[in-house]
């Protein structure tokens, strides 16, 4: 599994969409009928951001996304956004399953090394 920022720049005054791609070694199916999987982007000086599953079921790449309005209170200029070690949350029975055999991982984990490899994103004014 790999993880990377799709968003390469974020300007607080313009707002925009934070997007992260999680890449698996084989295709997965996402079932959101019971809830939407989420992934957390850590903000070093403000509240963390919860990105919701947006697309990718049936492929090996899932996209998580969060729209943030211009001049928002969620970010400040020079905030550093990063991805830490975590489990992708699957509330209310949401699942992420291996398409080949239908097995479900109890915890879809992102390691500290994977999060670090994704790099950081610094918010501009």
**Integer angstrom CA distances of residue 59 from 79, 84, 96, 121:** 32, 24, 11, 26
Global confidence as pTM: 0.94
Q: What is the pLDDT of residue 102?
A: 80
Mean pLDDT of the chain: 93
**Which strand (E) or helix (H) includes residue 112?**
helix 112-117
Average pLDDT for residues 11-24, to the nearest whole number?
Answer: 96
Average pLDDT for residues 43-61, to the nearest whole number?
Answer: 96
């Amino acid at each position: 599994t790999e993880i990377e920022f799709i968003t390469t720049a974020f300007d607080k005054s313009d707002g925009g969409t934070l997007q992260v791609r999680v890449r698996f070694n084989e295709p997965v199916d996402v079932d959101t009928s019971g809830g939407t999987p989420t992934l957390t982007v850590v903000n070093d000086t403000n509240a963390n951001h919860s990105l919701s599953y947006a697309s990718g079921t049936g492929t090996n790449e899932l996209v998580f996304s969060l729209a943030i309005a211009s001049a928002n209170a969620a970010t400040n200029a020079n905030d550093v956004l990063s991805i830490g070690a975590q489990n992708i949350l699957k509330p209310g029975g949401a699942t992420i399953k291996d398409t080949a055999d239908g097995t479900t991982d109890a915890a879809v984990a992102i390691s500290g090394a994977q999060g670090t490899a994704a790099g950081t994103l610094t918010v501009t004014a």
